[in-house]
Amino acid sequence: MDATLKLWVVIFAVGLLNYLSRLSFIAVFARRSMPPLLARALKFVPAAMLMALILPMIVAGPMAGNVVAFNPKIAAAVIAGVVAFFTRSSLWTIGTGMTALWLMQAMG
């Protein structure tokens, strides 16, 4: 498939599914309450999906190569993660994470 067409299909399909999720209990299932098992499982969607999204960006390539060689991105991400946990601020998290990465890259 043509790359531009594929991009637009993704935009509309993801946009529509996101919108239906947002609309679900407000309008479509307005008279139903959420099944308890679903409510319980949904609590873990952000933590699990975001972690699955984050790790490959930090640990680029197969894990085996990175255990041996020091990866400044892992160290910077750990520092940023601690800052995020305590400040809950994206500005502080990005600020410390980027600074830590630049410092470590400058030191070689």
Tell me which residues in 39-58 interact with another protein (CB under 8 A): 39-58
Instruction: Work out which of 3, 68, 69, 107 binds another protein, going by CB under 8 A.
Output: 3
Residue 71 makes contact with another protein by CB under 8 A: no
Residue 8 makes contact with another protein by CB under 8 A: yes
Residues between 72 and 101 that touch another protein (CB under 8 A): 73, 76-77, 80-82, 84-85, 88-94, 97-98, 101
Q: What track of x and - describes contact with another protein for positions 11 through 40 (by CB under 8 A)?
A: xxxxx-xxx-xxxxxxx--x--xx--xxxx
Sign of the CA dihedral with 99 first, then 60, 15, and 81 last = negative
**Closer CB to another protein, residue 27 or residue 107?**
27
